[in-house]
A and B are shown apart, each in its own frame.
Chain A
Amino acid sequence: MNHEGFMVLRDVTKVYPMGDTEVRALHGVDLQIERGEFIAILGPSGSGKSTLMHILGCLDSPTAGTYHLDSLAVQDLSRNELAEIRNRKIGFVFQSFHLLPRATAAENVELPMVFGAVRAAERSARAECVLEQVGLKHRARHLPNELSGGERQRVAIARALINKPSILLADEPTGNLDSHSGAEILSLFEELHAEGRTVILVTHDEMIACRAHRVIRIRDGRIEERSSENCSL
């Protein structure tokens, strides 16, 4: 079996037990993503796109099938090894930002470095630098509830970038933003892709998906793939 791609899923199935029954979120998914791609995973609510993102982001393991990330067999890794990969290789951006409410913008950005055993002085310096990169240096000492939606999402992006991950995974990153802020965030993702990162956007919005270079359509836990050149929107 070919594992030469950067992120390779083969016949991946994910089943969630729900009481006496089971919910099959993914049915034998085969997917290969190369380093530096800008991909959108597009699908309606309940299609399995978030489950796919969780597996790609090593937050969850497949029930069956294999997933190789940079030649590592993810399904065989321990919880600690998965945490290490999430910390060093992957940056997450969520629809509802998922910032720690009691921590300032800078402290939220520093969080991945705390678990990466980076010294406090270096943490502060790097957090300041990344916040400047997303245009929020002046808001570093503010708590999330003192920031606008767009600012919160930029803090979340800064946090995702702080450990210089090679993969950026974003789950509906503009879902809670107005159109102006959403456009800014998408531009930021394009810039980050241009810097060489692999960017994976999970969305139900065709317009947003069309900003990616490849769109992977998912429905009922199965993949239908097409490229952005065929985008009709």
Chain B
Amino acid sequence: MSSVSHLIRQLRDDRIRITLTLLGIIWGTVSVTVLSALGESVHRALLKGQKGLGDGLVRVAGGVTSQPHTGFPKGRWIGFVRQDGQLIRDKLPEVELVSSEFGSINGEIAWNGRMMNGGIVGVEPAFCDLRSCFPQDGGRFINDLDIREHRRVVFLGNGFKDRLLGKTPAVGQTIRIMGSPFTVIGVMRPKLQLGSYYGPDRDLIFIPATTFENLFGWQYVSGILYRPGAPATAQRTKATIKTLLAARHGYNPYDSRVWNIYDTREAEFEVINDACIGMRVFMFLIGALTLIVAGMGVANIMFVLVQDSTRQIGIKMAVGAKPGHILRQYLLEGFALVLAGGLLGLLFSWVVLLFIRQIPMDEEGLSYLGRPELSLSTALIVSSVLTLIALAAGFFPARRAACVDPVEALRYE
């Protein structure tokens, strides 16, 4: 009789006990799979959210000197201007994108008799890619012509648009910003944004930097945003920009209080990555512990099966079974139990994850769950854990079975 047919008969005869053990393995597999998938999904969502502030973005802003320099006393305000951005563009071709940023100013914005306050930011065209502020269909972001001609056009954050215009199509509408008419050229596509400094982009409105200068009379930019080229040269680029701006504005390039820099790759990427890895390990361990408990259930039932089958083991040994034959049979049975439970568990996990993906993720909190999927890496990790548990759960009962004394086993009642 083969081990498979023996197992099938065993399944039939010990239905309740084996069903409960299978449920344990299924539950353990679902726990480790769903938790791992959620960990992976949250990690992806957070990285995406981090890109919402800017994909590889560096923001440089001026400050107050803390050291005297070339005859100037300390405590001098150093502000960067829009031309500094141009200088970076010209001198450092390896820098992919540069945009000056003014703002934000909290101003009165009106449309069709409706009035509300909103943050107004002046930006240049590269801001669109730098901050992932992509327009919805039918719209566009601020372009070079808008900058050159100081156009009165505005790009709306999607949240602000919903509050001001409701469901009315925005593109082509005229809104008043602090009394001046501006034509809406686009609305931002919804995005996940992890960090901000003027508030989330969805609640802001964006106008051309040159228009902002005219309208509000600002001389200095609030910051210069840029994306360095290859990550390997990012540090060198940063140092060159530092030297370039220090020479242009007459301050010590090593005066750290002037140089206010915010590098998303350094600041948040590492933190998010470390936190997410920690979270994923934690979630995996919770799931794996559940699975180990289920594995103990399998070991337990295998011990019971060995105990119940003692006389049969004796019979098999009497007709010529070697210890290896008995060991193999019980290892296979334990393995088959874990494998069946694991496969059912993976199938059930897939259904659970499918269900989670159907939940509307409009709420900001929920959006950080992302879209959990049963990835190949998760399936491989779960399969490896299952295999280890199956071997451990089957081995000890199988070894006990193989060590049975045939004479004692034949006498066993």
Residues facing A in B279-338 (CB within 8 A) are 311-312, 314-325
Report yes or no: B318 in contact with A102, Cβ–Cβ below 8 A: no
- Is A211 an interface residue, CB under 8 A from the partner? no
4 A-B pairs with least C-beta separation: A87-B320, A112-B319, A102-B9, A83-B322
Report yes or no: A115 in contact with B316, Cβ–Cβ below 8 A: yes
Sort chain B's interface into a size bin: 20 to 34
- Is A70 an interface residue, CB under 8 A from the partner? no
- Is A114 an interface residue, CB under 8 A from the partner? yes
- Is B119 an interface residue, CB under 8 A from the partner? no
Partner of B1, one of A60, A79, A86, A103: A103
Report yes or no: A84 in contact with B320, Cβ–Cβ below 8 A: yes
A115 surroundings in chain B (CB, below 8 A): 316, 319-322, 325
A116 surroundings in chain B (CB, below 8 A): 320
Q: Please encode chain A, from 54 to 70, with 1 for each CB lying within 8 Å of some chain B CB and 0 for all others.
A: 10010110000000000
- Is B90 an interface residue, CB under 8 A from the partner? no
Interface of B (DSSP majority class): helix
B1 surroundings in chain A (CB, below 8 A): 100, 103, 107-108, 110-111, 114
What's the minimum C-beta distance from B332 to chain A, rounded to whole angstroms? 13
* Chain A interface (Cβ < 8 Å from any Cβ of B): 54, 57, 59-60, 79-80, 83-84, 86-88, 92, 94, 98-103, 107-108, 110-112, 114-116, 159, 163
B13 surroundings in chain A (CB, below 8 A): 102
Q: List 24 A-B contacts (CB under 8 A).
A: A59-B317, A59-B407, A60-B406, A79-B322, A79-B323, A80-B323, A83-B321, A84-B320, A84-B322, A87-B319, A87-B320, A88-B320, A94-B410, A98-B315, A100-B315, A100-B316, A101-B312, A102-B10, A103-B9, A108-B1, A110-B1, A115-B316, A115-B319, A115-B325
Interface of A (DSSP majority class): helix
B317 surroundings in chain A (CB, below 8 A): 59, 83, 86
Q: A86 vs B325: C-alpha distance in the bound complex, in angstroms? A: 14
Partner of B410, one of A80, A98, A107: A98
Most chain B CB inside 10 Å of its own CB: which residue of A60, A88, A100, A116: A100
Write the chain B residue with the least CB distance to A116.
B320
Q: A57 vs B410: C-alpha distance in the bound complex, in angstroms? A: 13
Write the chain B residue with the least CB distance to A171.
B410
B257 surroundings in chain A (CB, below 8 A): none
- Is B6 an interface residue, CB under 8 A from the partner? yes
Residues facing A in B343-371 (CB within 8 A) are none
Report yes or no: A59 in contact with B318, Cβ–Cβ below 8 A: yes
